[in-house]
Structure 1
Amino acid sequence: MANVIAKHDFRAPSDNLPQEIKRLKLPEAYVPATVSAAPLAGTWVNVDHHTRGLVRLVIAQSGNEITLHGFGACSPSPCDWGIVPGTVYAEGVTGTSALAFAGMYTFGFKQTTIVGRLMNGALAVATFDHFMDNSGRSDYFSEYILGQ
């Protein structure tokens, strides 16, 4: 008996997905609305010049994505927190303009979640600090008002 060698032609499902959608008369795939980050973009400065926390926040926009570049209170100049990716949020499920954002900084000894929202032309920002260094310090919350 001779050995039969079969050749299998593998095609990834994504190769023929558009044809299958049409053949099966399925609805087109849902494409979520994009949220414009433009309203949040820019340099925001804490209105409290004596703050011991967040001094400045630079929100940079690239397409519909943002990066957050925070600066904390240090002397003689602000401490650079670095740049982290952020997520933008609209006011509702059909919104297309960013109203709020969130991001996460990891400093080694603590993790800082930063969230903010536009409010009457200002940026209301909250930080949630969680210590990871077994120092016994309490996790804490801070809030700030920033303007452009």
Structure 2
Amino acid sequence: MTQTTQHAHYMLADKRPSIKEPIEVSPLVGNWVNTKSDTNYLVRVVLTEQDDHLVFQGYGANEPSPIDWGKVEAVPYAVGTSLTAGGFHAFYKLDGIETHLVANQKLGILVIQSYTRYVDGSGRTDHFAREFFHR
């Protein structure tokens, strides 16, 4: 007798088969530069694949040179029913500042939304940004 495992689903996209193959992250890997040269947010990001993980390194706008945020693991997400990454999310916690990054890539443009929250008691207003990057 064959037993079928039932998985929870709340939309049609949840009815995906269980596949042990990794998501192909190569469409995301590379050096990405903000299309807006006078940004106040991320000026550049580097995505690499290390030990079968997607790694994100951000560089925040600052004068005279950008601030290296360091490297964090990014979680890739497949496009539709493929096994090719079309987006990711990552999280930074830096000295009382928490930033969630959510991104998607299409047609050679990487769109990154950042959600920044201040947990340092400074009273600064939490904020959201969406910026566009190219290779």
TM-score (norm 2): 0.83
Higher helix share: 1
What residue is the counterpart of 2:95 in the other structure? 108
What residue is the counterpart of 1:117 in the other structure? 104
Aligned residue pair count: 122
2:131 corresponds to 1:140: no
Give percent identity, aligned residues only: 31
Greater shift after overlay, 62-71 or 103-112? Answer: 62-71
Over the aligned positions, Cα root-mean-square deviation in angstroms equals 1.7
Task: State the alpha-carbon separation in 2 of the partners of residues 25 and 90 from structure 1.
Answer: 29
Q: Which amino acid aligns with 1:54?
A: L
Task: State the alpha-carbon separation in 2 of the partners of residues 67 and 115 from structure 1.
Answer: 14
What residue is the counterpart of 1:38 in the other structure? 26
Cα displacement string for residues 20-43 of structure 1 (whole angstroms, at most 9, x for unaligned residues): xxxx8768xx54342111100000
Report matched runs for 1:88-99 at 5 Å.
88-92=76-80, 94-99=81-86
Cα displacement string for residues 90-126 of structure 1 (whole angstroms, at most 9, x for unaligned residues): 123x321000011001112110011110122100011
Report matched runs for 1:1-148 at 5 Å.
31-62=19-50, 64-92=52-80, 94-148=81-135
Task: State the alpha-carbon separation in 1 of the partners of residues 64 and 107 from structure 2.
Answer: 32
Cα displacement string for residues 4-54 of structure 1 (whole angstroms, at most 9, x for unaligned residues): xxxxxxxxxxxxxxxxxxxx8768xx5434211110000000011111110
Higher strand share: 2
Q: Which runs of 5+ in 2 are unaligned?
A: 5-17
Task: State the alpha-carbon separation in 1 of the partners of residues 94 and 107 from structure 2.
Answer: 32
DSSP-derived class of the 2:130 partner? strand
Q: Which runs of 5+ in 1 are unaligned?
A: 1-23
Rg larger for: 1
TM-score (norm 1): 0.76
Q: Which amino acid aligns with 2:130?
A: E
